[in-house]
Amino acid sequence: PYSPTNEFPKVERVRYSRVEDPTDDYGTEDYAGPCDPECSEVGCDGPGPDHCNDCLHYYYKLKNNTRICVSSCPPGHYHADKKRCRKCAPNCETCFGSHGDQCLSCKYGYFLNEETNSCVTHCPDGSYQDPKKNLCRKCNENCKTCTESDNCTECREGLSLQGSRCSVACDDGRYFNGQDCQPCHRFCATCAGAGADGCINCTEGYFMEDGRCVQSCSISYYFDHSSENGFKSCKKCDASCLTCNGPGFKNCTSCPSGYLLDLGMCQMGAICKDATEESWAEGGFCMLVKKNNLCQRKVLQQLCCKTCTFQG
């Protein structure tokens, strides 16, 4: 009535964790090779991480429902339940859940708002973008907006912007020291703090020069007649000038050693002074020197001084 060879009927194993590919070279019966390191001791029916019968660490599923065993969840996924990796929200690089308010870090172009655990393109008021960390970092508590923690660009209600800081609004000539309004340094018309270094604008008879108030412009600076907000200032001369009376390389009044002053411009040596118009005019020999990066050669630099020195 029965054959001994059929006493235990063969049962074909069905794996629900992956979609079987009819082109697979490995069946459930004939594979005897090594398993992928990410397979558990249960075994496998092929060599790859998608042939494991069970995963050693974690797994995630592809769109075709194939299960891939991995040592850790890949970017854009999180460890959900048991050994499964699930996808984060679209803007999250790492996360602790699938919702948009469960991000831990963000993809490029987004910034993590740590208060809401969400990835945003623009940080809210009271914070600024840190592009290196893809984070929204908090401004100083007095800032409404800022570019860095203590570099306010707008203040909260009741405070006024003093330089780059927000403080209680004091009358001109006074600053808030944390408790009350104190007088500025005698050089300052307005200030953000104590001392001459705290000046924002200078009092009558003084000029603002690189963040400090001076009675006369230093060498290599010129008096700027177009005063800002009614306050006068000293601006730095062009790098080619020793002293000057205005901006740019054509307003020099004296030159560094080795240069000669010619029509408001500092030029190199006598050879340069005697050079003809044709020798440095655009489209001429000197433009070829410049285009071929030959200005570093001393002879050519002297011959073509205007092109080499003043035009790059």
pTM above 0.75, yes or no: no
Quick one: pLDDT at residue 225?
Answer: 77
Max Cα separation, the chain? 123
Quick one: pLDDT at residue 93?
Answer: 92
Quick one: pLDDT at residue 138?
Answer: 92
d(CA 255, CA 265): 8
Quick one: pLDDT at residue 52?
Answer: 93
**Binned average pLDDT, 10 residues per bin, the chain of 312 residues:** 44 41 48 91 91 92 90 91 90 93 93 94 92 91 90 87 81 83 90 84 88 89 78 89 92 89 80 48 60 69 66 48
CATH 2.10.220.10 residue ranges in the chain?
Answer: 14-87
Fold of 14-87: 2.10.220
Quick one: pLDDT at residue 302?
Answer: 64
Quick one: pLDDT at residue 21?
Answer: 41
Quick one: pLDDT at residue 303?
Answer: 67
